[in-house]
Amino acid sequence: MIDTSTGPNALELHHLSVAYRVGRRNRAVLRDLSLTIRAGEAYGLVGESGCGKSTVALSVVRYLPRNGVITAGEISLAGHDVMKLDHEALRRMRAESVSMVYQDPGKALNPSIRIGRQLTEIFELRGISGQAAVDRAISMLNRVRISDPVRVMQRYPHQLSGGMQQRVGIAMALANDPTMLILDEPTTGLDATVEAEVLDLIAKLRQELSASILFISHNLAVVSRMCDRVGVLYAGMLVEEGPTEEVFNNPRHPYTVALLRCLPRGGQRKDQIRLDTIPGFLPSPGAQISGCPFADRCALADSRCHNELPLLHDLGGRLSRCHYHERAQDLPRTTPGHIAAAHVAAAPQPVLRIEGLNKTYAAHGHALRAVNDVSLDLMPGQTLGLVGESGSGKTTFARLLLGLVPADGGGTMELDGKTLASKLESRSAEQVKAMQIVFQNPDSALNRSHSIRHIMGRALRTLAGLRGAAQQKRLVELVRSVRLTERHLSVKPRQLSGGLKQRVAIARAFAGDPRIVVCDEPTSALDVSVQAAILNLLADLQTKERVSYIFISHDLAVVRYLSDQIAVLYLGRIMEIGPSERVFSGPHHPYTEALLSAVPKLDETEPSRVRLDGEIPSAINPPSGCVFHTRCPRKIGAICEEQEPPLFESEPGHKIRCHIPFEELARLQRKTDHINEVTA
C-alpha cells in the first residue's frame, strides 16, 4: 500500500498528446496535456463534449480506440511508465491497480451473465475462488450499500434499475482494491435523486478507500461536490486548474467564467435576465490552433491571443492558460444582463384547461396507470414546468395533450374554451396547429433525409397553409427568428451541430403560430453553453409570440428559469402544483423537497439532508394510500399507507397532496433550513 504522504503521485501526465487517425490524417484531440493527481486525491476534469475528457481516461489505461495514437508525452501511474508496459504488465496493471466506472452501466455489464458471476470472476482472476470469492463479492455489494446482496447476485443486469446497476459497476471497479479509480460521467444517465445517492456513495467510499480518483463530468456542480482539485479542459488543452473551490468561486480563465455563467441559477427568471452564452464553436479535432484555442469565442481576446499560445501561468497553487488571467472576471456578458419585463396583464381565461385526465396502458395483462386524474390550467403566454423522476408520467402526459396517444374516457381537455378531442384525428385543423412540440433529441425529430428547407417548408405548407412565394418569405422570417441564416436552409440536419438542429426543431414548432408548444427536455442533449442559448431563444419567442409552454425537464434550475407554474408529478399524479416561486421557496411537498435537495449545487457547503431511498415504484402496482409513502422522508404514520391525501389548496393557487398540514410542513422545512435555493 502506498504511503499517502510520501509515495509517488497516483497519476502523472507529462505533455501528453493524443490524436485520432481519420482519413490518413492525425487529428489532435489532446494537446500537450500535463496534470498530476496526488495519492488519495480526487481530481475533476470538466469541459464540454468533444474537448477530450474521455480520451484522457482511455489513454491512462491504454485503451484508446484502434485509430487513437499517443503522439507524444508520458503517462505515469503510481510511478510506473504506462507507455513502456508490455502486454502482460499492462494486463496486470488493469487487473490490479486501475479501475474504471463507465457512463452507461447497462452497457458496461454483460447482459447474459448473472451479477454474482460477473463479480466473483474478478476475484477468481486474483486467485480467490469458490466460496471465498462469493463471500468477497457479497461484502463488495454490502460496501456499495446494496441491502440484499445475495438476491442481487442472482439477478441479471436488466433486472436491476439504473442506480443499482451503477452501484454494481462501482462494486466491480472497487473489487480489485485499485489505487486509481477513473469515473467517466458516472451519474450522467441517472435521475437527480438516484444521482444524489450514487454521489453520496462515492463520497462515503472515498473516506474508506485509499484510491485516488479521476472524476470526469460535464456537470460543474457534480465535480465541485466530489473533487479536491479540478482541471478545465478545452480543445484538448488544460486551460485552468486549481483547488475546486477557488476555480469555481474565482475563475481565472474566460472559458471557466463563461461556463459558470451559462448555468441558470440563483432563482434567475426569464422575465428578469437572459442567460449568458458562449458564442461560436469548439475547434474541431485536429484543427490548427496558432494562438489561444478559446480566442475565437472570447470577448477579451486581442491580436496577441490569436497569434500567441498563452502559457500555463502559475498563480500560486493554480494554473490558468490565459494572457489576461487577471482580467478573466471582467469578461463582458454576451447578452444584456437585465431585460425590461414586458408585463402584460394575464388574461383571465386559460388557454388550456384539463380536468381529470387519465391514461391506462395494458401491460402484461395488468393495468398501468401512467397518468392519474390530472387537472390543471395553462394561462396564455405562460410556462407550466413539469418535473418528476423518469417514470413519473411527464412524457405520457405531454403525448396525451398533443393527441399522439388517446386519453382514457372521462377526463376533459379544453383549448380556448372549446373541447379538445383526445384523438388527433378528431381535432379541428385549428386545434392541431395550435399545439406543437419540441422533442428532446433533434436527431430523431428531424428527418435526416430532408434538407432544412424541405423540413420547414413542409411545416409551413401543412400548418400555415402557405405555398410559393408567401411560403418562402415566411420561411426566411422563421429561420431568422431562431437566429439561423438562409445559408442553413440548403443543408441536411447531420451537417448542423446539436444546438442548431434544436433551433430548426423550434422553428418548425412555431411554423403554424401555435398557442401551446410542448418542450420535452429540449436541452438535455445539449452542452450548457448551447442550452443557455436555446433557453434564451425560447424565452424571447414567448415574449414575442405570446405562446404558452409546457416545459418538461429533469433539470430544476432550467425549469425554474422558464416556468411561471410548476407541477410536480409522481407515478402519474400531481403531488404539488403552484406558482413557480412558491413551489421552489416552499413550503413544499416532501417529494418536491427531496427533488430539490438532490440537485448538486455549485456553492454547496454541506450535502443536503433529504434523500430518497430506492427507486420510483412500478405504476402497475402503486403503493396504497399516498403513493409516495414508501419513500417519504416525512411519513407520519398509518394514515399515509391507508388514505390517499387530497390535492389541498394551501395558499392561493398552490396545491399540495399531503396529509401533513401546510403550517406543519412549513415548520418542518424551516427547521432543516434553507434548501429553497436550487443553485443560489
Partner 1 sequence: MTAIDVKQPELPAANANRSPVTEVLISLSRSGSFLTGLVILLFWIVCALFGEHFTPYDPLADDIINALMPPSADNWFGTDQLGRDVFSRVIVGSRDILTVAPLATLLATVAGTTLGLFTGYFRGLVDDIISRILEAFMAIPVVIVALLAIVALGTSKSTVIIVIGLSFAPIIARTVRSAVLSERELDYVAAAQLRRESALHTMFVEILPNVIPPILVETTVRLGYAIFAVATLSFMGFGIQPPSPDWGLSISSNYGMIGGGFWWTVLFDALAIASLVIGVNLVADGVQGALND
- Residue ranges binding partner 1 (CB under 8 A): 23, 277, 279-281, 284, 287, 299, 332-338, 402, 404, 424, 429, 432, 435-437, 439, 441, 444-450, 458-459, 462-463, 483-485, 487-488, 491-492, 494-497, 499-500, 503, 508
Q: Which is closer to partner 1, CB of 287 or CB of 346?
A: 287
CA gap 102, 168 in Å, rounded:
11
Sign of the C-alpha dihedral computed for residues 344, 349, 353 and 356 taken in this order: positive
Minimum CB separation from partner 1 for residue 469, in Å? 21
Crossing angle between the packed helical segments 254-262 and 528-545, to the nearest 10 degrees: 50
Q: Which is closer to partner 1, CB of 73 or CB of 514?
A: 514
Minimum CB separation from partner 1 for residue 279, in Å? 5
Q: What is the DSSP string of 382-437?
A: -EEEEE--TTSSHHHHHHHHHTSSPPPTT-EEEETTEE--SSGGGS-HHHHHHEEE
Q: Which is closer to partner 1, CB of 41 or CB of 521?
A: 521
Residue 594: is it exposed, middle or buried by C-beta count within 10 angstroms (0-12/13-18/19+)? buried
Burial 219-235 (b: 16+ CB within 10 A, else e): bbbbbbbbbbbbbbbbb
Minimum CB separation from partner 1 for residue 392, in Å? 20
Q: Which is closer to partner 1, CB of 450 or CB of 611?
A: 450
Minimum CB separation from partner 1 for residue 491, in Å? 7
Minimum CB separation from partner 1 for residue 485, in Å? 6
Place of cell 405504476: 619
Q: Which is closer to partner 1, CB of 73 or CB of 499?
A: 499
Phi, psi of 101 (to 5 degrees): -115, 130
Minimum CB separation from partner 1 for residue 166, in Å? 26
Phi, psi of 465 (to 5 degrees): 65, 25
- The residues, any chain, with a CB within 8 Å of residue 16's CB and separated by 6 or more, are 30, 32, 33, 34, 56, 59, 70, 72, 73, 74, 75
Cα–Cα nearest to 77, from 206, 182, 217? 182
Minimum CB separation from partner 1 for residue 86, in Å? 33
Minimum CB separation from partner 1 for residue 483, in Å? 7
- The residues, any chain, with a CB within 8 Å of residue 250's CB and separated by 6 or more, are 329
Q: Which is closer to partner 1, CB of 21 or CB of 492?
A: 492
Count of beta carbons in the 10 Å neighbourhood of residue 371 = 27
Q: Which is closer to partner 1, CB of 125 or CB of 464?
A: 464
Burial 28-62 (b: 16+ CB within 10 A, else e): bbbbbbebbbbbbbbbbbbbbebbbbbbbbbbbbb
Minimum CB separation from partner 1 for residue 404, in Å? 6
CA gap 414, 410 in Å, rounded:
13
Q: Which is closer to partner 1, CB of 122 or CB of 466?
A: 466
- In sequence order, the β-bridge partners of residue 647 are 657
Minimum CB separation from partner 1 for residue 349, in Å? 24
Cα–Cα nearest to 322, from 312, 332, 331, 314? 312
Minimum CB separation from partner 1 for residue 463, in Å? 6
Sign of the C-alpha dihedral computed for residues 389, 391, 394 and 395 taken in this order: positive
Q: Which is closer to partner 1, CB of 58 or CB of 464?
A: 464
Minimum CB separation from partner 1 for residue 447, in Å? 4
Q: Which is closer to partner 1, CB of 227 or CB of 463?
A: 463
Q: Which three cell numbers stand for residue 213?
A: 480518483
CA gap 488, 422 in Å, rounded:
37
Minimum CB separation from partner 1 for residue 280, in Å? 5
Crossing angle between the packed helical segments 498-509 and 452-463, to the nearest 10 degrees: 20
Q: Which is closer to partner 1, CB of 34 or CB of 335?
A: 335
CA angle 615, 617, 621 (to 5 degrees): 165
CB under 8 A, 24+ apart: contacts of 620-624: 620/363, 620/364, 620/366, 620/367, 620/368, 621/366, 622/369, 622/571
Q: Which is closer to partner 1, CB of 214 or CB of 328?
A: 328
Q: Which is closer to partner 1, CB of 171 or CB of 525?
A: 525
CA gap 479, 487 in Å, rounded:
10
